[in-house]
Amino acid sequence: MPITTNYPGVYIEEVPSGVRTITGVATSIAAFVGWAPQGPTDAATQVLSWPDFARTFGGYDTRSLLGYSVSHFFANGGQEAYIVRIVDKTAVKAVLKLNADVTVTALSPGKWANTYAIGIKARSDDNTRFRLQVLLVKPDKSEVPVESFENLSVLPSDPRFAQSVVNNGSSLISITVANTATKPPADTNLPSPSLGRDTSGDDGTVLNPDDAKFNAALTGATALLDRVSLFNLLCVPGETDPTTVQSLQVYCKGRRAFLISEPPQGSKVTDLQTPDSKLTGDSATNGAIYYPWLQAPDPAMQNALREVPPCGFMAGIYARTDASRGVWKAPAGIDATLAGAADIDLTLTDGENGTLNPVGVNCIRNFPVYGIVAWGARTLQGNDERGSEWKYIPVRRTALFIEESLFRGTKWVVFEPNDEPLWAQIRLNVGAFMHSLFRQGAFQGKTPQQAYFVKCDGETTTQDDINRGIVNILVGFAPLRPAEFVVIHIQQMAGELQT
Identify the pLDDT of residue 492. 86
Q: Are residues 340 and 382 in the same domain?
A: yes
Residue 113: other Cβ atoms inside 10 A: 28
What total of structural domains would you count in the chain? 3
For the chain, the first-to-last Cα distance in angstroms comes to 89
Identify the pLDDT of residue 496. 67
| Chosen domain end from 161, 177, 193 | 177
Residue 82 lies in a domain: yes
Q: Are residues 332 and 299 in the same domain?
A: yes
Q: Are residues 219 and 355 in the same domain?
A: yes
Q: Are residues 221 and 167 in the same domain?
A: no
Q: Are residues 161 and 250 in the same domain?
A: no
Residue 252: other Cβ atoms inside 10 A: 24
Residue 411 lies in a domain: no
Residue 224 lies in a domain: yes
Q: Are residues 340 and 478 in the same domain?
A: no
Judge whether 158 and 122 are in contact, CB under 8 Å.
Answer: no
Identify the pLDDT of residue 14. 87
Residue 79 lies in a domain: yes
Which residues are CB-contacts of 257 (< 8 A; sequence separation ≥ 6)? 31, 231, 232, 233, 234, 251, 286, 400
- 3-state SS of the chain is CCCCCCCCCCCCCCCCCCCCCCCCCCCCCEEEEECCCCCCCCCCEEECCHHHHHHHHCCCCCCCCHHHHHHHHHHCCCCCEEEEECCCCCCECCEEECCCCEEEEECCCCHHHHHEEEEEEECCCCCCCEEEEEEEECCCCCEEEEEEEEEEECCCCCCCEHHHHHHHHCCCEEEEECCCCCCCCCCCCCCCCECCCCECCECCCCCCCCCHHHHHHHHHHHHHHCCCCCCCEEECCCCCCHHHHHHHHHHHHHHCCEEEECCCCCCCHHHHCCCCHHHHCHHHHHEEEEECCEEEEEHHHCCEEEEECCHHHHHHHHHHHHHHCCCCCCCCCCCCECCCCCEECCCCCHHHHHHHHHHCEEEEEEECCCEEEECCCECCCCCCCCCCCCCEHHHHHHHHHHHHHHHHHCHHHCCCCCCHHHHHHHHHHHHHHHHHHHHCCCECCCCHHHHEEEECCCCCCCHHHHHCCCCCCEEEECECCCCCCCCCCCCCCCCCCCC
Residue 272 belongs to domain with CATH number: 3.40.50.11780
Q: Are residues 287 and 171 in the same domain?
A: no
Q: Are residues 153 and 81 in the same domain?
A: no
Residue 311 lies in a domain: yes
Residue 469 lies in a domain: yes
Residue 247 lies in a domain: yes
Identify the pLDDT of residue 374. 97
Q: Which residues of 139-173 are buried (b: 16+ CB within 10 A; e: fewer)?
A: eeeebeeebebeebbbbeeeeebbbbbbeeebebb
Identify the pLDDT of residue 2. 76
Q: Alpha-carbon torsion 196, 199, 200, 203, what sign?
A: negative
Residue 170 belongs to domain with CATH number: 2.60.40.4290
Q: Are residues 173 and 218 in the same domain?
A: no
Identify the pLDDT of residue 1. 65
Judge whether 284 and 380 are in contact, CB under 8 Å.
Answer: yes
- Each of the 499 residues of the chain gets a pLDDT tens digit; together they read 678 889 999 999 888 887 889 999 999 999 999 999 999 999 999 999 999 999 999 999 999 999 999 999 999 999 999 999 999 999 999 999 999 999 999 999 999 999 999 999 999 888 899 999 999 999 998 999 999 999 999 999 999 999 999 999 999 999 999 999 999 999 998 789 999 999 999 999 999 998 889 988 998 999 999 999 999 999 999 999 999 999 999 999 999 999 999 999 999 999 999 988 999 989 999 999 999 999 999 999 999 999 999 999 999 999 999 999 999 999 999 999 999 999 999 999 999 999 999 999 999 999 999 999 999 999 999 999 888 999 999 999 999 999 999 999 999 999 999 999 999 999 999 999 999 999 999 999 999 999 999 999 999 999 999 999 999 999 999 999 998 888 999 988 876 666 5
Q: Are residues 245 and 298 in the same domain?
A: yes
Q: Are residues 343 and 306 in the same domain?
A: yes
Supply the range of the domain harboring residue 171. Answer: 95-177
Task: Decide the pairing of beta strands 371-374 and 361-367.
Answer: antiparallel
Q: Are residues 331 and 390 in the same domain?
A: yes
Residue 451 lies in a domain: yes
